[in-house]
Structure 1
């Protein structure tokens, strides 16, 4: 693949691939689950701390094995072909789902501006998917330029919204509406369910790793991109939640599907709500652009190792893995037709955390198995920082399994069915 990407793209793809639909929609759901200001802020902080420690491990992995596809490469190298196959397809499904729900949510916001379009929501969603498929089919440079521009403007928009909310509220904290003991079973359930949603909003924090093979200097650019982008996202997420709850109390925003719009109506009036809706659409377009690029890189890596069709490795003149892009877009089209936001979001988060956990384990395995591999960046605090993030991942997965049994069962079924498929592909590859 062409080495045409740099540090500015790395930071932009991380910010653009993370900030978007989650932070605009999940605060209402989390407020409904916890109904406690400080517990909500603590959840966002814990989620941010988790991905920051994770970035430390990924910085070493991605610079050690700078290949298209990200996590899949590290897990395969550490634990063998089947682990690579399973994690690669988990990661692919996780990252091929977002374009569908971003298209769905963009159409929902457009209907707010133009209510007469309500009957055309599916058509609008599909139109955005097709338009961005054509954009990325034209080449990597087009997607890179749009990503950098939209990510910068998105950060400025969110900063402006945060400042406006704090100025309106006078920096006074809203009283906690209900103080429920944390160790009640319902609150424990709500806490882990909230963490699942929050980790979902942080999903995308390692986006730059998928493009390591296309980076001009991955040894320097990837660690800088990971830390810079992650810190910016964490700060924005915590501040935007604090800002929202300065304007309206937790109880008023509980279970609101569009928290940003509710807050904007109070701060700016009806016209301000329209402005924020436009900003939201723009923000979502930025994250959609990022996630149109990521799944194709994973599918390219899987194809190169014989875990998908050989044509999946085809690169067009613009540097785009064109067959992988088209297959991913068709998958997104199917999801637009059958999936709801909440179902897709929770499922993708569950699978993401599984892949991250396996990647963290692969760091320890590769340190022991291949100590002489070139490592341009060494994870600080190793092995304790890695052990800590593995323990946190196991705790999250246990909590998710408890609070989201349905998706846990689906993932177990997919895992069970994957092995016969792996054996068939292995037999085909050996036959070739």
Structure 2
């Protein structure tokens, strides 16, 4: 097991989720609002802490803040890479992606999936339109949130009743998942497509749906290689 993964998901996952949520709430909401006020945050929507650092430490404070924000952005990118590769690894171990993506190095990191994610992102960046990439990613995020409807089906369908679930959400959360799924699909998806087409153009919209559509033939091929009893067909 990867050393960065929880050893006891039933207890560690809820602690990690609530801890991250509380830290983000205090760091990004309460601290900014308490120091700058609501009007100050609206006046500096990108980085409201830069004026605070400049007022407290002078010009050097703003430089230090920019450096820290850059480091934070690098950590966010790293988290996205690790999350994407881990998701590919999980799907590969379940035969929903080719098993090559499930291979890990000696540290337990899905290195092949990580390199594929990096190469794919380099291709997107080389397109030269960061706004289009973000707009296309918004379509993927909206669809991913809509997949929460699968959680409702998994809780009710008898075929998934005996699956091992180290961490189980409370029973009432199936209604929350259904609400968010219905909200994202189709309401938010229609809104994202409309905003993309109006503000950036249809290129980003088609890019987002094309990337999502690529998963369908890959998934069908992966399922074709797997027999009913889970063995790979050569």
TM-score (norm. length: structure 2): 0.73
SS at 1:404 equivalent = helix
In the other structure, the counterpart of 2:93 is 304
In the other structure, the counterpart of 1:365 is 153
Residue correspondence of structure 1 range 33-432 to structure 2 within 5 A: 214-239=5-30, 241-242=32-33, 243-244=35-36, 248=40, 250=42, 252-253=43-44, 260-261=49-50, 264-266=53-55, 268-306=57-95, 308-358=97-147, 360-370=148-158, 371-373=161-163, 376-379=167-170, 381-394=172-185, 395-405=187-197, 406=202, 407-416=204-213, 418-428=215-225, 432=234
Please give the alpha-carbon distance, in whole angstroms, between the structure 2 residues aligned to 1:418 and 1:282.
32
Is the CA contact 1:303–1:311 (under 8 Å) kept in the aligned structure 2?
A: yes
Q: Cα offset for 1:222?
A: 0.9
Please give the alpha-carbon distance, in whole angstroms, between the structure 2 residues aligned to 1:319 and 1:267.
44
Is the CA contact 1:247–1:263 (under 8 Å) kept in the aligned structure 2?
A: no
Please give the alpha-carbon distance, in whole angstroms, between the structure 2 residues aligned to 1:328 and 1:288.
12
Is the CA contact 1:247–1:267 (under 8 Å) kept in the aligned structure 2?
A: no
Please give the alpha-carbon distance, in whole angstroms, between the structure 2 residues aligned to 1:323 and 1:277.
33
SS at 2:75 equivalent = helix
Q: Deviations over 1:77-100 (max 9, x none)?
A: xxxxxxxxxxxxxxxxxxxxxxxx
Q: CA RMSD in A?
A: 3.3
Larger relative contact order (C-alpha < 8 A, sep ≥ 6)? 1
Is the CA contact 2:152–2:174 (under 8 Å) kept in the aligned structure 1?
A: yes
Please give the alpha-carbon distance, in whole angstroms, between the structure 2 residues aligned to 1:418 and 1:288.
22
Alignment length (residue pairs) = 219
Please give the alpha-carbon distance, in whole angstroms, between the structure 1 residues aligned to 2:38 and 2:212.
44
Q: Deviations over 1:385-431 (max 9, x none)?
A: 23332233233323223322334443334455554454445445565
Please give the alpha-carbon distance, in whole angstroms, between the structure 1 residues aligned to 2:173 and 2:97.
35
Please give the alpha-carbon distance, in whole angstroms, between the structure 1 residues aligned to 2:210 and 2:121.
22
TM-score (norm. length: structure 1): 0.43
Q: Cα offset for 1:219?
A: 1.0
Distance 1:276 1:249, change over 3 A: closer
SS at 2:193 equivalent = helix
Is the CA contact 2:10–2:168 (under 8 Å) kept in the aligned structure 1?
A: yes
The 10-residue stretch of structure 1 (380-389 or 229-238) with the greater mean CA deviation from structure 2: 380-389
Unaligned runs of 5+ in 1: 6-213
SS at 1:338 equivalent = coil
Distance 1:231 1:380, change over 3 A: farther
More helix by share: 1
Please give the alpha-carbon distance, in whole angstroms, between the structure 2 residues aligned to 1:249 and 1:316.
44
Please give the alpha-carbon distance, in whole angstroms, between the structure 1 residues aligned to 2:189 and 2:23.
26
Distance 1:231 1:424, change over 3 A: same
Please give the alpha-carbon distance, in whole angstroms, between the structure 1 residues aligned to 2:192 and 2:152.
24
